[in-house]
Chain A
């Protein structure tokens, strides 16, 4: 809870820092309402819609309301999926407004002791340090392989955790070993004729917990004729920081990444996680007030491209024969890949190119699954409500495989499958994993 003094400080900062032109740019037409998952799931509450949230931010700036607990609740419940942006005729950058508002609130309030400790540990001590990410993944791997996992499940100790967390434990991928995580390539040649020279943004979670998916991504790039540079100085993209009101931490990571790729001479920087890609492509906005970094950030952002997009652009699916045993595939959009990176048709094009499979579009595939970074942990109730709606649509496709393009979405889909008791009939996969599986060499 914020104190009166904290509220006053937040209000002053809102007046100083919020982009007033952008706030005024919202003409309140309401076109965003039908696309907002929390507006719909909350039973059409305007305070949980983009138009409502913008009106609230503006009201704090105008001094009509104080940034009280209800106001914070409205910001907290936003998934940040940014589905409101492509439909906004006035082109309001809602995501930027949200990020700024969250940053102001979080920087000007005192969190309770335990929350402070956790935030510091996560944002400052863990994610910016790839060696520590490896350490944590190693521990999880030890848990899975040593028999501890069996023990935990057998003793029923997992029942002590909240439902979603206990299920989440079950759907985590098999963790790589420390050795696998340490010996990472820094340069790979194209297989066949070289068409492009690309950088690969390996990410923090992707290069630890989802190491196999990263390996698959690089393999596909090689097959597509890409020479790959993987600078080892790169770091976590900072999305988690940015979305949680830790903008300074995000900026620090952004500078590290820009520097890491700056002199590599690559045509594009490839990502395989929609959430990271969307944050990387926004570095120009993040560093817009930093004269030394502004242009460098722009140059970096201009090179960001999702793996699906580049594969389609170089005609990978036409050149390489893709085939799998008979099955129905469906695709769940990564919100940030779709709404921010504007990549929606490429993944579908690739999946439809796999012989032997049928592609079935899911109703509302473009609606957030409720994963949204750490949203499914901190806003578990709304997240599960969204997931339940998602699974109704997923089941209706009769698909045996749900394909996603972001690690958070992937875990959430696996969680949904587990919760529905469908793990024997349905699986969740990352698009690069299924593509590599389909490659017939």
Chain B
């Protein structure tokens, strides 16, 4: 509960209409897209500009009130769930594209801009902003920056981090700083831009971002390769890259995923095969055609039973849309959907997929796997029911083993969803004690009172929990 003085002070900063501490108002910001996490904030505040944000942060720092910045709440690691109460900060008033600079190839935006709106705006000018997380129709740029979101084009074009070249941010002491700029080169001191991207709201509040744009590729083609053997599909991925072709997209879906996606999207995906690869290449027409021909050859060499190129833009778009709905389509199977994003070097994809299947069998679970195979970023997904406590315990153990396997293969516990609360207990697996300590030192230096999204990234104790409720 906020004290009445603090409440009055916040209202005097943002005005009464931008402050909500009603039960209804707080309840609808008590969750994000992560299953089984819910916690009520004390208030929901919608500042109108960076000065207001700075004043709120100062106030919270003085009274040690947690602040959870929140875009559209599509987070999958409970990063935007206010597990320690405090204030949920909304960016609905900071949702403007401030500038698209065609000479410097940059876009300057406020954090509340919806990803798809930005993509449409820059594409109207013949430019391209590649990071396209699965939730891009509603996710905000601010959220993408805080989580360093990936997407389907990561293989060739990188992730959000690779397109953020400057930030304006409010630090936990209320200071407003600017990092980077419209610069291709900038080595003035520590690279705060890259530190803040992916910091999950634990270091600062992003109030503005300068994004790098690139010219839009002239054409693209989409291909579907079908396999009766899961590992053959995974091997194709490594072989395609080994033949020195970097496709724009190289997605993998296994049979259980295919079935539910087809049931949802009804676009005629084959459901009688064990795995498919969805491959997209973009660029000048000649290059795209040459690459696609070569990729088709590689897939056939790897025992693909069928290789087909989408015949129209609409067909290609339908395929990509189907892939985008994979996660949520899996939600049709069971009420609860546990989705992870363990990532390995792409050469290890085949081994990782095999390991996931073994683990699923060992714990008697149905785990569907899809993901950005080209990035080595898999999404083993377990449809389950949070009311079935016995199964939930097995899910917990299975994912723990999946994380350990990923690390064993030189991978990581999270490729793109962030650590949040959900994977905090596993951070040490990846970084080691000293690594976590060094990270914690950075956090403590910038946020000594631990007000910025507390409880995220760093586990409070070593108790392992992936799916434990509340």
Contacts and interface: CB of A to CB of B under 8 A. Distances in A.
B329 interface: yes
Contacts of A25: 331, 335
A49 B24 CA distance: 13
A91 B261 CA distance: 12
Contacts, number: 89
A233 to B, nearest CB: 38
B399 to A, nearest CB: 17
A73 to B, nearest CB: 8
A29 B335 contact: no
A59 B40 CA distance: 11
Contact of A56 (B27, B95, B114): B27
A45 to B, nearest CB: 8
Contacts of A151: none
Interface of A: 21, 24-25, 27-31, 33-34, 43-44, 46-47, 49, 52, 55-56, 59, 64-66, 68, 70-71, 73-74, 88-91
A47 B90 CA distance: 13
A21 B139 CA distance: 27
A127 to B, nearest CB: 32
Q: Which of B73, B138, B327 has the most chain A CB within a 10 Å cutoff?
A: B138
B27 A29 contact: no
Interface stretch (B31-39, B203-211, B362-370): B31-39
Contacts of B95: 44
A47 B24 contact: yes
Contact of B23 (A55, A65, A88): A65
A30 B337 CA distance: 15
Given A30-B72, A43-B92, A91-B264, A68 B328 contact: no
A89 B92 CA distance: 25
A59 B27 contact: yes
B138 A34 contact: yes
5 contacts: A27-B33, A27-B337, A65-B23, A66-B23, A90-B329
B74 interface: yes
B28 A89 contact: no
Given A30-B72, A34-B137, A74-B24, 9 more contacts: A27-B331, A30-B33, A31-B137, A46-B29, A47-B24, A56-B24, A65-B24, A70-B25, A89-B331
Contacts of B25: 47, 70
B72 A71 contact: no
B325 interface: yes
B22 interface: yes
Contact of B332 (A30, A71, A91): A91
Given A70-B22, A89-B328, A30 B92 contact: no
B interface secondary structure, majority: loop
Interface string B68-112: 000011100000000000000010100100000000000000000
A292 B74 CA distance: 44
A251 to B, nearest CB: 28
A212 B131 CA distance: 54
B135 interface: yes
A24 B336 contact: yes
A24 B335 contact: yes
Interface residues of B, number: 37
B24 A71 contact: yes
B332 A89 contact: yes
Contacts of B23: 65-66, 68, 70
Given A28-B31, A68-B24, A33 B332 contact: no
A31 B24 contact: no
A31 B332 contact: no
Contacts of B40: 64
A29 B327 contact: yes
Nearest to B25: A47
A55 B28 contact: yes
Contacts of A89: 264, 325, 327-329, 331-332
Q: Which of B95, B325, B327, B328 has the most chain A CB within a 10 Å cutoff?
A: B328
Interface string B323-344: 0010111011001110000000
Contacts of B72: 30, 33
A31 B92 CA distance: 17
Contacts of A29: 33, 74, 135, 327-328, 331
A34 B137 CA distance: 7
Interface string B297-335: 000000000000000000000000000010111011001
Contacts of B332: 89-91
B335 A21 contact: yes
Given A31-B328, A44-B92, A90-B331, A56 B28 contact: yes
B325 to A, nearest CB: 5
Contacts of B336: 24, 27
A49 B92 CA distance: 14
B271 to A, nearest CB: 17
A55 B73 contact: no
A28 B76 CA distance: 10
Contacts of B138: 30-31, 33-34
The 4 closest A-B pairs by CB, nearest first: A89-B328, A70-B24, A90-B331, A46-B28
A139 to B, nearest CB: 42
A30 B135 CA distance: 8
